[in-house]
Amino acid sequence: MAADDRNAFEVYRDRVDRPLGRLFREYGASEAHWLVIGMVANVVARVAGLIPPVVLGVAIDAVFTGSGPYTLPIVPDAWLPTAEPAQFRLSVLLIFGSFIVTGVFTYVYGIAANNFAHRVMHAVRTDSFDQMQRLDMTFFDDKQTGEVMSVLNNDASNLEVFLDNALQNSARLGVMVVGIATVLVYYNYELAVVTLAAIPLMFLFTLWFMRAVEPRYVAQRSVVGDLNTALENALSGVELVKTSNTEAHESERVEDASFSYFRRTMSILRLNYVYRPGMELLAGLAFAATFAVGGFWLANGPPGPFTTELTVGTFVTFVLLTQQFVAPLAEVSNIIDQYENAKASCERVFGLRDIPVRIEDDGDAVELGGSAQSDGGTRNDGGVTPAGDPDHGGVAGAVEYDDVSFAYPENALVDPEDADEEVLSGVSFSADPGDTVALVGPTGAGKSTLLKLLLRLYDVTDGAIRVDGHDVRDVTVESLRSSVGYVAQDTTLFDGTIAENIRYGRFTRIDEADVDEGEVRDRVVEAAKAAEAHEFIASLPNGYETRIGERGVKLSGGQRQRLAIARVVLQDPAILILDEATSAVDTETEMLIQRSLDRLAADRTTFVIAHRLSTVTDADAALVLEDGEVVERGSHDELLAADGLYAKLWGVQAGEIDELPEEFVERARERHVDRAVERATETEVDSETPD
């Protein structure tokens, strides 16, 4: 086990420093104009909201009780009317106007603030997805897909809520507190002391709340992780759950996790419901004290140490403005909630962002088969090269493994030196263009791993793999992968039409590529024919336009495989990797598949992971792997004559001997028990690590 048994995602997430600051720097800066417009509009709208109580107070004193002059803050007295009816009309106009201003600027603020929040969210989501696609296979081996989904969905939404709501509500709160306090002090600083005495108390109370609630949020997030793991396990392993009758056990796990989540959430809410009414109580106290002291003041003159005069109008202004405090204060707990969520989400976003990508183009990477491609256009952009192009875009397809060793990196994303036990050691062989090489050996011998290295899904730990003399690490990943076709045992089909699935990877988007649609259609049909898939496709209700995948018709294993073959026919790579299916299809289908594969392999360098020894007899050479090493090599006949592992495997399959000799079985058993125990312990630790 690695010293640090958290996965890469967790490690990088915990290393993120001041995540929200980084969010503003990396994403906020380019959209800052929206934020500024939103903030300014917000301030204008809120300040306009302070006008009615002020004007009302002034009007009461000047127009109704005649106890004071008609003056307004900021506005020079010379501009104001002196006759009472005109003062009244102006007051009405001002109050009416301020509501219109509030309305208009609230609209502007809404548009700008949402533009800011959603643009940032969009950028975060697409960048995170791009980064996710660049990550090495090692990342996905850790099965962190659930977490990635959550970054793309929940975390991006949390940020949006924060950037829109929380940010603007805190701005509004700030404006209200400062604006109201200024007006109150301006009109009567003595009574203002009474009203504003609650503010420091509210501040302290909020500090206490934030300190108390923060650890509860941390605890809540960790149980959310547990809950997601429990859900994901049960869903992805549904077949195992059903066949093992463990529904009750899974329900119990989910129930436990869900109940912990409930308890953690309640513990946050309990605090929330102390805080919220507490704040309202303090605001209410401020209001009651203002009302009591102000009322006494009006009736009996300044109480206690106070000396200034208080008019009815000022008193009304005080009472109305104090009331306006309450609503934004009630938002504080929401702001804190949104802030906490956003901080955690932001850590995850940048945690994902910071995971280093190791398999990437080197600065001076060359195009595999570069010279020929520049004539015919890049193969991947849809530039049409003739079908069955003998030249394969300039790639001949000579493959050489030079003393290759490989260990699956335990936690390579965290520490590249940290590698597990070797899965391949000192593998050397070469294949000439057009050769077919069969890979044979017991399960776990390293056959798939060997070929994944050719596709550069992982990098060799030692040694080198060369295609046409170029180290695969020195050519562009794109040119390498478009020169190597891969037909997996289990074919992945996407939601879409048959035709889209066949041209996926070669003419993925016809509308964008500079190609003739009709020609591509012909090529797709041609490829399907070569893959023996045309007939069944033609018999489907909409032919090539039939939807398959999640929301379309379901295809059989044999049909899916033929689509995968058609896909590779269209790709027309110089090198081909076939993982022979072990699952049985009927004899007729098998014959069709075999025929199409033979056709496909005819003019390319082909590597077959052979499960049927008949495949080996047709190959130019076979490599027998055992425990990561090439133990035998040669043609079928040579291998039989050598009377080693191959001869034994062949004997078992041909029914000539009943079982493998004890020594092979024993060796295999030891190897597998060791590995199985190791893997099982790892899995258990993984699934029990919270979050």
Q: Which amino acid belongs to residue 415?
A: D
Which residues 6+ apart lie within 8 Å of 583 measured at CB?
489, 557
CA–CA–CA angle 126, 132, 135 (5° rounding): 145
Per-residue binding letters, 49-68, with ligand ADP (x by CB under 6 A): --------------------
Residue with smaller CB distance to ligand ADP, 400 or 420: 420
Q: Give the whole-angstrom CA distance, residue 488 versus residue 561.
A: 8
Residue with smaller CB distance to ligand ADP, 136 or 331: 136
Residue with smaller CB distance to ligand ADP, 230 or 440: 440
Residue with smaller CB distance to ligand ADP, 15 or 675: 675
Q: Give the whole-angstrom CA distance, residue 263 versus residue 254.
A: 14
Q: Which amino acid belongs to residue 77?
A: D
Q: Residues 213, 321, 438, 445: which binds ligand ADP (CB under 6 A)?
A: 445
Q: Residues 447, 481, 560, 562: which binds ligand ADP (CB under 6 A)?
A: 447
Number of residues that bind ligand ADP (CB under 6 A): 12
Q: Give the whole-angstrom CA distance, residue 66 versus residue 61.
A: 5
As measured in angstroms, the least distance from the Cβ of 683 to ligand ADP is 12
Residue with smaller CB distance to ligand ADP, 334 or 448: 448
Q: Tell how strand 621-626 and strand 419-431 pair up.
A: unpaired
- Asked if 444 is part of the footprint of ligand ADP (rule: CB under 6 A), the reply reads yes
Which of 587, 649, 600, 597 shows the shortest CA–CA distance to 447?
Answer: 649
Helix (H, G, I), strand (E, B) or coil at 219: helix
- Asked if 446 is part of the footprint of ligand ADP (rule: CB under 6 A), the reply reads yes
Which of 28, 75, 33, 26 shows the shortest CA–CA distance to 55?
Answer: 75
Asked if 407 and 591 touch (Cβ cutoff 8 Å), the reply is no
Here the tokens at position 208 are 């206490």
Asked if 495 and 551 touch (Cβ cutoff 8 Å), the reply is yes
- Asked if 423 is part of the footprint of ligand ADP (rule: CB under 6 A), the reply reads yes
As measured in angstroms, the least distance from the Cβ of 475 to ligand ADP is 23
Phi–psi pair at 686, nearest 5 degrees: -55, -50
Q: Residues 188, 314, 449, 559: which binds ligand ADP (CB under 6 A)?
A: 449
Measured N-to-C along each axis, helices 312-330 and 32-59 cross at an angle, to the nearest 10 degrees, of 150
Here the tokens at position 75 are 């506005």
- Asked if 669 is part of the footprint of ligand ADP (rule: CB under 6 A), the reply reads no
Window contacting ligand ADP (CB under 6 A); options: 111-119, 122-130, 324-332, 438-446: 438-446
- Asked if 141 is part of the footprint of ligand ADP (rule: CB under 6 A), the reply reads yes
| Strand-pair partners of 607 | 437, 577
Window contacting ligand ADP (CB under 6 A); options: 75-83, 119-127, 440-448, 467-475: 440-448
As measured in angstroms, the least distance from the Cβ of 679 to ligand ADP is 7
- Asked if 425 is part of the footprint of ligand ADP (rule: CB under 6 A), the reply reads no
Per the listing, tokens 């953690």 go with 264
Which of 615, 597, 598, 603 shows the shortest CA–CA distance to 573?
Answer: 603
Per-residue binding letters, 17-46, with ligand ADP (x by CB under 6 A): ------------------------------
As measured in angstroms, the least distance from the Cβ of 420 to ligand ADP is 7
Residue with smaller CB distance to ligand ADP, 405 or 448: 448
Sequence length of the chain is 691
Residue with smaller CB distance to ligand ADP, 77 or 421: 421
- Asked if 270 is part of the footprint of ligand ADP (rule: CB under 6 A), the reply reads no
Residue with smaller CB distance to ligand ADP, 294 or 446: 446
Query: What residues from 593 to 652 belong to the interface with ligand ADP (CB under 6 A)?
Result: none
Phi–psi pair at 644, nearest 5 degrees: -105, -145
For CA atoms 169, 175, 178, 179, give the dihedral sign: negative
- Asked if 90 is part of the footprint of ligand ADP (rule: CB under 6 A), the reply reads no
Phi–psi pair at 427, nearest 5 degrees: -85, 125
As measured in angstroms, the least distance from the Cβ of 441 to ligand ADP is 6
Helix (H, G, I), strand (E, B) or coil at 304: coil
As measured in angstroms, the least distance from the Cβ of 675 to ligand ADP is 5
Per-residue binding letters, 490-529, with ligand ADP (x by CB under 6 A): ----------------------------------------
Per the listing, tokens 């997030």 go with 221
Query: What residues from 553 to 582 belong to the interface with ligand ADP (CB under 6 A)?
Result: none
As measured in angstroms, the least distance from the Cβ of 365 to ligand ADP is 25
Q: Give the whole-angstrom CA distance, residue 610 versus residue 654.
A: 15
Residue with smaller CB distance to ligand ADP, 20 or 668: 668
Residue with smaller CB distance to ligand ADP, 548 or 624: 624
Window contacting ligand ADP (CB under 6 A); options: 112-120, 175-183, 213-221, 446-454: 446-454
Q: Tell how strand 399-409 and strand 419-431 pair up.
A: antiparallel
Residue with smaller CB distance to ligand ADP, 143 or 521: 143
Q: Give the whole-angstrom CA distance, residue 1 versus residue 682.
A: 8
Q: Give the whole-angstrom CA distance, residue 142 versus residue 136.
A: 11
Asked if 485 and 575 touch (Cβ cutoff 8 Å), the reply is yes
Helix (H, G, I), strand (E, B) or coil at 426: strand
- Asked if 675 is part of the footprint of ligand ADP (rule: CB under 6 A), the reply reads yes
Q: Residues 208, 408, 429, 664: which binds ligand ADP (CB under 6 A)?
A: 408
Residue with smaller CB distance to ligand ADP, 517 or 678: 678
Q: Give the whole-angstrom CA distance, residue 176 versus residue 324.
A: 8
Here the tokens at position 46 are 């809120």
Residue with smaller CB distance to ligand ADP, 423 or 568: 423
Q: Residues 131, 448, 546, 617: which binds ligand ADP (CB under 6 A)?
A: 448
Here the tokens at position 366 are 């060359």
Window contacting ligand ADP (CB under 6 A); options: 232-240, 442-450, 543-551, 651-659: 442-450
Q: Residues 30, 428, 443, 614: which binds ligand ADP (CB under 6 A)?
A: 443
| Residues at the site binding ligand ADP, with contacts judged by CB under 6 A | 141, 408, 423, 441, 443-449, 675
